[in-house]
């Protein structure tokens, strides 16, 4: 579809031509306008917004740009009205100098580029000629020597007039001043130029008139017409009746462009039948040969050799025309003329050109496939295969080239992009022609990918196990739980927090805290292994993208036991700070069980293993102490030399580092007879036994027994009256010995996981007997219960004892 709009202006007009109004891809079809040259600056050519169909209100935001190809910036676009106006006067003769080729319109090629979204409109502006130049001769004075023997009808070449205007405004005809001997003959050259030849109408008589003064007028075809004049002076010479003749009137030669200097093009040959100086020939270019041709080729005046002396460029001139005359050296020289036509053969001497019309240097990594990144135009000044150009990009890139129109390509996204894999692409465009050898050029563009939040934070491990020693300081650093996010900027900034949950009705956030910036995990309280042994919760890392992405990790806190509990001696029981007194008969045998020391430790495993040692002993040969079960036995029988009173200090030490210990002091008194003795440890209490072994010292024995009985009664009374010190309250849910300690350890159950307490024991207290029972099921611990003194140890009494069981 073709649309033409003509706008009348004073003495001028503007033609608007739309060619192929449809749009194909990014580059639009060509829109052509036609204006005369020399329009005033500021003159409006057309309204591009109206003609091309885009909204004027969005021009400032869309960054409209006018790109003039291979020329100065003669025009500009008004970004407020969309009008295309003249920025600088356009001289058609300067912009499109006249060449030898057939007339072609003078076109100014423009690209109108709009962004957001990207659109390109191809505009051609045809500059039409006006008659602003008058014809002028290259020589204002022409002198001709014509022999009087010249025959009527002979033609003499004259300097032609040139007019830089074209077509109807160019050179049209010549007029010769009135005379009876000469007339003007007008000829047209291959480039349309008008040449005038002086024709002899009537024979000359030098004796009648030796000089003829003529005026030659050149007139163009403009309205109004313009003209120029030159004077012709004809001198009549004496007879030289034979003129040189060329063997051919027209020579046709093919020459390759860029031929080296001094390359022989053609050797002319002209002959003259005269003799002497009238037969000596000199070659020269006539005035019909253009100055451009004479700059490129040289003519030897003596030999007639035509050689290359300048650069031959096919893209500038495809054909040269030479007019050559051969003139003899007679007194009245005669000349002959010929025409040489040189056709230039193209070689691949121009590199292909690549022009980036538009390019987005940065895009988001999640851009849709098919998005246009750049618009590229390619060209080559050569012709044929030498001017056929192919465009390629480097391989293994997620981009593709699509041809949008002749000489235009678009670069589009062809695969999914990932900034975390490749953050920057170097895209090299390579243009290659099809000449032999081919020529190529390239240009590299750098494309950067902008990050989007498409990666969730990633922890290096899915499960963290953190060991914490009990009795830690509140606020101590436990570990650093950090994640990694390959995104950038705010998409990479991570915030850490603990996923809220409750443990034993206590919020996890009251036990632990995490630094939201670096993932450092802190303990908010001091942990006690005897109360809590492990915690299991989740930590979540969340980035700052929009929308944010997150991931979590499981954290397992394991509390490590520390030797922080001192062993407690529960048997034989004695008031704090007091000394335990025991009475044994001196007649005991070897291996007699004097007492059994039992200590418990609230710690676990190695820290709760108790060993017993004598700290002080009056006679190391008399008593032995089992380091594992705490049994004190006699190593031999008493002799009369042994003292009656012994002091034993036993220390119970745990297996921790550093080790903790407790001591008990036992004072042993030996008597001949005792009222009460203990058998070896059993689950049943021993009944009182009265020894009646009468001997010769019966009176002494009865007295001693009475005395010891009195002492025993006094000691019991004193112990009854003594008020025990209150014990510290035991924390709730603590895996330790629970005792009110108001008067005794009665009505309490002592639990320990130590295997050394597997045996049974019985110890006397002020209120009853202490019994260590068998281990509870599955090794959960051992129970120590108290019984009243008056109650016998039976199955029934065992069930009535107060018992507290705490599992490991």
pLDDT digits (tens, 9 = 90+) for 548-571: 989 999 999 998 888 888 888 888
CA–CA dist 310, 708 (Å, integer): 149
**Alpha-carbon separation of residue 790 from 318, 687, 764, 767, 786 (angstroms):** 140, 11, 12, 9, 12
Identify which has the larger pLDDT, 342 or 764. Answer: 342
Task: Decide whether 136-237 matches 568-721 in CATH topology.
Answer: yes
> What pLDDT does residue 231 have?
92
Mean pLDDT of 780-806: 33
Residue spans per domain, the chain: 2-128, 136-237, 245-345, 353-450, 463-560, 568-721
Mean pLDDT of 504-513: 82
> What pLDDT does residue 696 have?
52
CA–CA dist 194, 290 (Å, integer): 13
> What pLDDT does residue 528 have?
87
Which CATH superfamily, name and number, covers 463-560? Answer: Cadherins (2.60.40.60)
Q: Tell me: the pLDDT tens digits for 190-223? A: 777 788 889 999 888 877 888 999 999 989 888 8
Of the listed ranges 323-337, 355-369, 671-685, 760-774, the least confidently predicted one is: 760-774
In the sheet with 2-9, reading across from the earlier edge strand, the strands are 2-9, 12-19, 27-36, 119-128, 106-114, 65-68
Mean pLDDT of 151-158: 88
CA–CA dist 484, 791 (Å, integer): 70
Categorize the per-residue pLDDT at 404 as very low, low, confident or very high, splitting at 50, 70 and 90: confident
> What pLDDT does residue 781 have?
39
Categorize the per-residue pLDDT at 681 as very low, low, confident or very high, splitting at 50, 70 and 90: very low
CATH topology of domain 136-237: Immunoglobulin-like (2.60.40)
DSSP secondary-structure letter at 758?
G
Q: Locate 724 and state its tokens.
A: 């025990």
Q: Tell me: the pLDDT tens digits for 90-101? A: 888 888 876 544
Does 579 have pLDDT greater than 90? no
Q: Which residues contact 352 (CB under 8 A, 6 or more apart)?
A: 378, 379, 380, 389, 431, 432, 433, 439, 440, 441
Does 769 have pLDDT greater than 50? no
Distance, C-alpha 405 to centroid of its chain: 33
CATH topology of domain 353-450: Immunoglobulin-like (2.60.40)
Measured in degrees and rounded to the nearest 5, phi and psi for residue 220 equal -90, 180
**What percent of the chain is predicted at pLDDT more than 90?**
20
Residue with tokens 């051992």: 782
Categorize the per-residue pLDDT at 491 as very low, low, confident or very high, splitting at 50, 70 and 90: confident
Per DSSP, the chain holds a count of helices (H) and strands (E) of 6, 57
Considering the segment(s) 2-128 as one domain, its CATH architecture is Sandwich (2.60)
CA–CA dist 259, 311 (Å, integer): 8
Categorize the per-residue pLDDT at 747 as very low, low, confident or very high, splitting at 50, 70 and 90: very low
Does 662 have pLDDT greater than 60? yes
Q: Tell me: the pLDDT tens digits for 35-53? A: 898 888 888 888 888 888 8
Question: DSSP of 311-332, one letter per residue?
Answer: ---TTT-SEEEEEEEEEE-SSS
Contact call for residues 497 and 519 (beta carbons, < 8 A): no
pTM for the whole thing?
A: 0.43
**For domain 245-345, which CATH number applies: 3.30.750.24, 3.40.50.720, 3.40.50.1370, 2.60.40.60?**
2.60.40.60
Q: Tell me: the pLDDT tens digits for 436-474? A: 888 888 989 999 988 888 888 989 988 999 999 888 889
CATH topology of domain 568-721: Immunoglobulin-like (2.60.40)
Coil, strand or helix: which one is 297? strand
> What pLDDT does residue 395 have?
85
- Average pLDDT over the chain reads 78
């Amino acid at each position: 579809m073709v649309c033409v709009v003509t706008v009348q202006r004073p003495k001028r007009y503007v033609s608007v031509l739309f060619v192929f109004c449809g749009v194909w891809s990014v580059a639009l079809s060509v829109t052509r306008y036609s204006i005369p040259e020399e329009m005033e600056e500021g003159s409006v050519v057309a309204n591009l917004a109206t003609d091309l169909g885009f909204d004027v209100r969005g021009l400032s935001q869309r960054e409209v740009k006018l790109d003039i190809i291979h020329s100065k910036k003669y025009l500009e676009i008004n970004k407020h009205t969309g009008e295309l106006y003249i920025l600088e006067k356009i001289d058609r003769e300067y912009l499109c100098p006249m060449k030898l080729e057939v007339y072609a319109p003078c076109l100014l090629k423009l690209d109108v580029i709009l962004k957001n979204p990207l659109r390109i409109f191809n505009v051609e502006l045809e500059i039409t000629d006006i008659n602003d130049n008058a014809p002028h001769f290259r020589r204002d004075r022409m002198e001709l020597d014509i022999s009087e023997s010249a025959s009527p009808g002979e033609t003499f070449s004259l300097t032609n007039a040139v007019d830089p205007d074209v077509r109807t405004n160019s050179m049209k005809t010549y007029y010769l001043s009135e005379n009876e001997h000469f007339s003007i003959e007008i000829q047209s050259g291959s480039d349309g130029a008008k040449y005038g030849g002086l024709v002899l109408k009537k024979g000359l008589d030098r004796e009648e008139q030796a000089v003829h003064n003529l005026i030659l007028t050149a007139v163009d075809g403009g309205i109004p017409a313009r003209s120029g004049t030159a004077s012709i002076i004809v001198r009549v010479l004496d007879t030289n009746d034979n003129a040189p003749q060329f063997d051919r009137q027209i020579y046709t030669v093919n020459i390759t462009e860029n031929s080296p200097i001094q390359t022989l093009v053609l050797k002319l040959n002209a002959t003259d039948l005269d003799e002497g100086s009238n037969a000596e020939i000199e070659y020269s270019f006539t005035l019909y040969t253009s100055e451009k041709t004479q700059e490129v080729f040289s003519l030897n005046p003596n030999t007639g050799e035509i050689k290359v002396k300048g650069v031959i460029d096919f893209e500038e001139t495809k054909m040269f025309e030479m007019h050559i005359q051969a003139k003899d050296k007679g007194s009245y020289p005669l000349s002959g003329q010929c025409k040489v036509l040189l056709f230039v053969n193209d070689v691949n001497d121009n590199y292909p050109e690549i022009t980036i019309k538009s390019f987005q240097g940065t895009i988001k990594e999640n851009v849709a496939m098919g998005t246009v990144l750049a618009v590229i135009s390619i060209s080559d000044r050569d012709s044929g295969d030498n001017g056929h150009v192919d465009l390629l990009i480097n391989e293994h890139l997620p981009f593709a080239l699509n041809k949008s129109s002749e000489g235009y390509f678009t670069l589009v996204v062809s695969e999914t992009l990932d900034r975390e894999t490749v953050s920057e692409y170097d895209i090299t465009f390579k243009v290659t022609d099809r000449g032999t050898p081919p020529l190529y050029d390239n240009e590299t563009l750098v494309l950067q990918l902008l990050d989007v939040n498409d990666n969730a934070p990633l922890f290096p491990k899915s499960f963290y196990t953190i060991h914490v020693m009990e009795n830690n300081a509140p606020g101590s650093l436990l570990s650093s739980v950090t994640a990694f996010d390959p995104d950038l900027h705010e998409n990479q900034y991570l915030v850490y927090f603990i996923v809220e949950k409750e443990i034993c009705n206590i919020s996890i956030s009251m036990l632990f805290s995490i630094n939201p910036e670096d993932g450092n995990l802190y303990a908010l309280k001091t942990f006690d292994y005897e109360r809590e042994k492990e915690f299991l919760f989740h930590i979540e890392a969340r980035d700052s993208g929009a929308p944010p992405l997150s991931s979590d990790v499981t954290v397992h806190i394991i509390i490590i036991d520390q030797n922080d509990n001192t062993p407690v001696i529960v048997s034989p029981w004695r008031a704090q700070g007091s000394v335990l007194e025991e009475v044994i008969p001196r007649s005991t045998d070897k291996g007699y069980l004097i007492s059994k020391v039992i200590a418990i430790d609230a710690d676990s495993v190695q820290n709760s293993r108790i060993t017993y040692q004598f700290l002080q002993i009056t006679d190391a040969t008399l008593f032995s102490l089992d380091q594992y079960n705490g049994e004190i036995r006699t190593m031999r029988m008493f002799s009369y030399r042994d003292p009656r009173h012994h002091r034993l200090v036993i220390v119970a030490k745990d297996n921790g580092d550093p080790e903790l210990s407790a001591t008990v002091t036992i004072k042993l008194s030996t008597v001949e007879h005792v009222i009460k003795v203990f058998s070896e440890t059993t689950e049943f209490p021993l009944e009182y036994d009265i020894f009646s072994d009468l001997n010769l010292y019966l009176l002494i024995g009865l007295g001693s027994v009475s005395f010891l009985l009195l002492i025993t009664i006094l000691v019991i009374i004193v112990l009854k009256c003594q008020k025990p010190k209150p014990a510290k309250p035991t924390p709730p849910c603590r895996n330790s010995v629970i005792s009110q300690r108001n008067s005794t350890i009665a009505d309490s159950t002592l639990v320990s996981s130590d295997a050394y307490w597997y045996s049974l024991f019985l110890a006397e207290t002020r209120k009853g007997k202490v019994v260590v029972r068998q281990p509870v099921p599955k090794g959960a611990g051992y129970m120590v219960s108290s019984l009243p003194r008056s109650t016998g140890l039976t199955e029934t009494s065992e069930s009535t004892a107060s018992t507290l069981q705490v599992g490991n």
